Amino acid sequence: MSSASQLKKLLQNGIHRIGQLELQTNVHGFQYVICHFLDGENTVQPDFGGLIVHRGPADARDLSTYSEDGTYRFTKGQTNLKQGWVMTLANENDLLLALDQFYPACVGLFLAQQGGILEIESLREKLNRQTGMYRFARSISDAGAQALIQQVCGPAHQCAKKILWQIDETTPLDDSEASRFNGIPSSLSEMEAIPLLCREACNHFVAECRKAAKAEFDAKAPQA
Amino acid sequence: MREAFYLIDADDVYVVPDFISEGYFTQDVIPRELQLTGPTTVVRGKSFHYCLPVGVHRSMTDLILKRAREVAPGIPPSETTLIITGHGTGLNQNSTKAIRDQVDLITASDAGYAAVLDAYMEEQPFIAEWDQLSQTPNVVVVPFFISDGLHSFQDIPVMLGIESEVGAAASQREVFRHNPHHLRGKMLYYSSAIGTERLLADVILDQVADFDNLHLSL
């Protein structure tokens, strides 16, 4: 079954949220409608309650590039999606196209996890294959990496993704809000929401590892 | 980039780098991240076909000529020097080659420019000497970059003499909206980066077709 068909089934079975997106069916004659979850109650009003209407998935990339105040959203998992808009979609293929702009591969990653075929890479696997200017990131200590996760990841730092990876094969993450986060940035259960999944450390985290590794190195340098 | 695998239901995937030339990213980083080991790699049941980057395809010529005509409408090519400009450093011989290839292709075409030249930010011939490189009253400059950025918004305008110093403009795209520039005794037409041309979509498809022609015919 295609990913779009499986997505359709998930919605039929009660799923209505992914990240900060509310997913609705059969609104004003449209098979699917998506919006920021805080605008969810406006969509059923006449004229979509004044929300700016976007027909089809084409505008999804632009809607997800900048936050409300014009800040560039450097990772799509950031919990600063803008409000004030609604998108109508004719079928589940268009819905999937739109979701893949807001949260790239979000449905595919979830389906792979459900099917037991999602490949997860540890932090060390990610760092050890970096080349060029990011090669130095691999020298970060385990303690430094654990501390960095708590400084950079999780809902307290605007990331809506559930961390699936460990430091390495045998070293799990220290317990923290970031390590415990389930990928659903609201109080909804997994019966109602598709969690956003983090299968490997993102480029932002790798860049932060590089800075932290340099700081560790500088701290150890012999004093003049 | 490894998440891309989970975006795809299809069994055959063509990967086309949206890069202006070959180099570190197309030869090292992308193959590493997508786990590609040759022209075609099977990754967990899907066949990934790795194509050349858009910038090295001969059909970039059409994009450059279209952009040159649009930025200088009605100006006779026979009275115009077309300059294709790039970064040019010892680290990036591939992009210099891509530009020189385009100069050769356009010179051999029937576009009719009085002269077609390459010029660079950091190696000779220097784009800062554009007026000395041109014998015609009109000069069109097309930046051979995959996108607009600091080079096309700030650095090159200073080198051309359009701006007096590097600094953030109120709207960076304004620098492309005041053609022609009456500078150094000539009429200068300055285009935004060639990678912003919508027809780049066709070049992506051309690279896919070239891959099939090359590999399926063997």
Q: What is the ipTM of this complex?
A: 0.91
Query: Does B77 lie in the same domain as B63?
Result: yes
Q: Tens digits of per-residue pLDDT, A181-217?
A: 999 998 899 999 999 999 999 999 999 999 999 999 9
Question: Are B22 and B66 contained in the same domain?
Answer: no
For the segment A91-117, the average pLDDT, to the nearest whole number, is 98
Looking at the fold, whether B119 and B30 belong to one and the same domain comes out as no
Query: Nearest chain B Cα to A99, which residue?
Result: B7
Predicted pLDDT at B92: 66
Q: Comparing C-alpha atoms, which of A23, A1, A47 is closest to residue A192?
A: A23
Q: Mark whether B102 and B206 lie in a shared domain.
A: no
Which of A3, A118, A127, A135 to probe by mutation at the B interface, max B CB count within 10 Å? A3
- Residues B185 and B210 grouped into a single domain: no
pLDDT value, residue B217 = 64
Residues B44 and B103 in one domain: no
Distance CA A158, CA A166 (A): 20
Chain A residues closer than 8 Å to B24 by CB: 132
What's the gap in Å between the CA of A179 and the closest CA on chain B? 20
* Mean pLDDT across A34-57: 96
Q: What is the mean pLDDT of residues B149-176?
A: 83
Nearest-5° angle of CA B87, CA B38, CA B25?
Answer: 25
Q: Do B9 and A2 count as a contact with CB atoms less than 8 A apart?
A: yes
For B87-135, write each residue's pLDDT tens digit: 997 666 788 999 999 999 999 999 999 999 999 999 999 999 999 999 9
pLDDT above 80: residue A74: yes
Inter-chain residue contact B9 with A131, CB threshold 8 Å: no
User: How high is the pLDDT of residue B91?
Assistant: 67
Closest to B155 in 3D by CA, of B190, B116, B117 = B190
Q: Which residues pair with B13 in a beta bridge?
A: B48
Average pLDDT of the segment spanning A166-195? 96
| B6 and B98 within one domain | no
Min Cα–Cα distance to chain A from B177, Å: 23
- Identity of residue B167: G
Find which of A87-91, A185-189, B162-166, B170-174 is predicted with most confidence, using mean pLDDT: A87-91
- Whether the CB-CB separation of A128 and A138 falls below 8 Å is answered with yes
pLDDT band at B174 (very low <50, low <70, confident <90, very high): confident
Bridge partners, residue B78, by sequence: none
Report percent pLDDT > 90 for chain B: 87
Mutate to test the interface with B, among A99, A119, A127, A203 (most CBs of B within 10 A): A119
Check pLDDT > 90 for residue B170: no
| B124/B186 same-domain check | yes
Query: What are the backbone angles phi and psi of residue B85, rounded to the nearest 5°?
Result: -120, 145
Instruction: Look at residue A224 in the predicted model and tell me its pLDDT.
Output: 60
Alpha carbon distance A75, A139 (integer Å) = 24
Q: What CATH number has the domain bearing residue B76?
A: 3.40.50.1400
User: Are B191 and B205 within one domain?
Assistant: no
pLDDT of residue B175 exceeding 90: no
- pLDDT over 90, % of chain A: 95
Sequence-ordered list of residues with C-beta below 8 angstroms from that of A91, at least 6 positions apart, any chain: A4, A31, A32
Residue B141: which domain range? Answer: 57-196
Q: What is the mean pLDDT of residues B154-164?
A: 92
Fold (CATH) for A123-220:
Alpha-Beta Plaits (3.30.70)
Select from B6, B35, B198 the residue whose CB has the most chain A CBs within 10 Å, as the one to mutate to test that interface: B6
Structure tokens at B169: 């403009």
Residues A172 and A196 sit within 8 Å (Cβ to Cβ): no
Counted domains in chain B = 2
Nearest to B24 among A100, A117, A132 (CB): A132
Residues B67 and B50 placed together within one structural domain of the fold: no
CATH 3.30.1360.190 fits A3-114, yes or no: yes
Same domain, B129 and B27: no
- Looking at beta carbons, which residues of chain B come within 8 Å of A201? none
Residue B203 and residue B141 share a domain: no
Q: Which two tokens stand for residue A193?
A: 């929401």
**Chain A environment of B9 (Cβ under 8 Å):** 2-4
